Structure 1
Amino acid sequence: MSFQNYEFQDPRSHGYRWVDVRHLRIPAEPGGAQELLAALIGHEHFRDDYAGGGVLSAGSRHGPYWLRLGTPDVYEAVSQERSAYVLRGWVNQSGDVPAAVEAVLQQEVFDRLAAADRIYYLSRLGDEAIHDWGRVHEHFHELVLIDRSAGRITKGVAEAALRYAAYLDGDLSDHLRVHLFWLEERRSPTVVDRRPQL
């Protein structure tokens, strides 16, 4: 679910936010929470950098993190209240969202939180865990919901790239104009040089 697909009062309020929800069946012999988290981490769908490339079966990244550093131990058991609080803060970081967004979030995210037996939050792993370009993920939240009655594990990722949005709205055009100048003139522009229009 991309917030860009909905109409906001301020067209930039979507903040390049999105939610990705994936469901996996709990194995016939489910084991404990640590075993289920390990199975999730070992699943091919865990190899997604969430930057547009999709799942890469030989991928080495998971969101902003190096895949090799993802273990069941980096997931913290959290309450429904805490997970809802974290997500609600993420949802409303740029003000209220349209009713249509709220309705989808309620059905796809908050109702699933309420039904989960256990909820795990991917804790901050620290700077050493962030991969080479992982900082494009500014507000990355991942929750794993275990719902034994439904026989499924749900992995939900919520992301916002607010600095990226500001870059697209501002500095990107300046950088592109400098690059175009260099392509035409084969030198960097000076303060007095007129830069090409986009």
Structure 2
Amino acid sequence: MGHAGFTGYGRWSDRNWRNVPGPFYGASTDTMWHLLAEAPAHILCDDEDNSQGFVFRQPIDAAAVECVVRAAQLDCYLGFAHDGDQHWTVPEVRRWWRERRRIAEWINDVLPKWTADTGNPAAAAGLRAYAAYLGGELAEDLRLYAFWLDQRRSPTPEERLPEL
């Protein structure tokens, strides 16, 4: 999948474990606090000392892709990538889904700290959005993505989506 003007050097083996399965992911990025404004519905950063970015919601339309690409281009290490479709498999998506509790626990641990310590309401809002997505429509999005990985096309309304 090509995205005009986007050159990411992130390596799959370095991706942040918080990335949601899909084509875009963050790996070995720079401090991401300044990029949250570019794609607040899609990108967050972790709470590690190096504050690396990750994609918590994959873009599903052209406007969202543009936001993610713009944020990725601003990363001075160009540590984002968009070759996730070459690496994710249906079993790996299922494994990620089974381990989602780790992300929920991370969010619960970090949210009070970010709310109190960082004074960054955008980051705290992003964490709340990730938590809501994790507990809501992400399951359906991952089922659609698993179908796409298996069939390399979108499902018709009559087709059954794979289970997670």
Compute the TM-score of the two structures, normalised by the length of structure 2: 0.29
| Bigger fraction of residues in strand | 1
Determine which structure has the larger helix proportion and give its number: 2
Instruction: State the TM-score, normalizing by the size of structure 1.
Output: 0.26
Higher Rg: 1
